[in-house]
Every structure is written in C-alpha cells, then in structure tokens.
A and B are shown apart, each in its own frame.
Chain A
C-alpha cells in the first residue's frame, strides 16, 4: 500500500516552455503533498506544501509564479514549471502524507528528471 506515482519520469524541454509534472497517490487519499527538488549530489530541498483545495505554501526563495502547484483532488497534485530555464533542470520529487498511513511517514514518488535545453 501507500504508493505514490509521478508522471513523467523524465522530460526534456526547450528554454521558455512550460512543463507539468503530476503526482498521484494510488491507493490512499493525500490531504497534503510536498514538492522537493534535488540537484546532483545535494539533499532534497522542500519547495512547497500542497493542500487539497487550497493554495500551496512555498518555501522562502521559491517563486510561486514560476512553480505553479495545483492540488485539485485528494489523489493528485501537479507542479508546472513555467518559462523553464536551464537552471531549473533538476530532479523533482513529490511526497504524500495520507489518511491511510502513519501520519509521521511520508510516501515518496519515484521522481521526475527535468532537463531544460
């Protein structure tokens, strides 16, 4: 149980275009999802907290107009990187804290590798 999926697993896009990444909880309802970013050989850095039906809360230094988050249902959150630039190339990982599991555990998705050319 407690599986989180991400789509796509990797994407290459041109500079200036927008990319949408989906995060789904497959077998449980996720009231809260988190988006992290990980650069090579670095730790995961929290970007934003996404709550179903409300606006996301962004961490300091993360541009909310650039990284649009929509948590439209209890099983889906999306991250859209708008006007992507090469410096946005990174590994994006979502996680979910849900009603079906231990509240102190997070279930992570497999990640999405974004490359902006």
Chain B
C-alpha cells in the first residue's frame, strides 16, 4: 500500500539554526510533492510544491529537495524563528484527480 512517512518525533531547534524535516514515501510514483504548514486547530497552509523533474526548489527561507530515486523529500527552514513553530505536513497526489495523501506531519519547535 502507499505510505508516506514523516518523523513522528518533534524536532526542537534553536532560533537561527536550520531545521531539516524528512518525508519518505513507498509505492508511489508522484508527479509532484507538496509541503504544508499546520498550526493547532487550523487547516493546512500551502508552502511549496516540487515536481518530479525538479531536484530543488526555494522560497525565501524555505528549501525543498526531491529525490525520486530515494523516494524522499527534505524540507529545510534556514535562519529559523520561533514563529516557524508548527507542524509540517508532506503530501502527495492520490492519483485520482488532485486529492492529496498526507503524512502525519512533524512538529517543529523553535526556541529563542
């Protein structure tokens, strides 16, 4: 069956450092992969999309890599800030239109 795995353990880092979150998937050949941010009690907010033919994508302090051989995506937040504290979700298309299959997310806590 198709699986998306994100590190279930919370990631605690110090302000100013780079946070790196991992998303691994199995039994997928996704056309693209997406990263979302979710705050407690709120819906997900889109951050970045990377397509299968792209190896890296950047947006301000965010960087996403996509290795279709390893079936892995890495999500980096550079110069992290306490406001970056949230749960970050990895999502892949469900091959049935544009519906998404989400990982459980990784909780990030950035401390001053």
Contacts and interface: CB of A to CB of B under 8 A. Distances in A.
A4 B46 CA distance: 13
B42 A111 contact: yes
Interface of A is mostly: strand
Interface in A17-74: 32, 34, 36, 41-46, 49
A87 interface: no
A32 B41 contact: no
Given A43-B102, A43-B103, A104-B32, A111 B94 contact: no
A34 B98 CA distance: 9
Contact of A106 (B42, B96, B98, B101): B98
B98 A93 contact: no
Interface in B40-62: 41-46, 49
B110 to A, nearest CB: 20
Interface residues of B, number: 23
A18 B101 CA distance: 28
Contacts of B43: 4, 6, 93, 95, 108-111
Contact of A111 (B41, B89, B96, B99): B41
Contact of B94 (A42, A46, A102): A46
- Considering residues B41, B45, B46, which has the most beta carbons from chain A within 10 angstroms of its beta carbon? B46
Interface in A69-116: 91, 93, 95, 97, 102-111, 113
Interface of A: 4, 6, 32, 34, 36, 41-46, 49, 91, 93, 95, 97, 102-111, 113
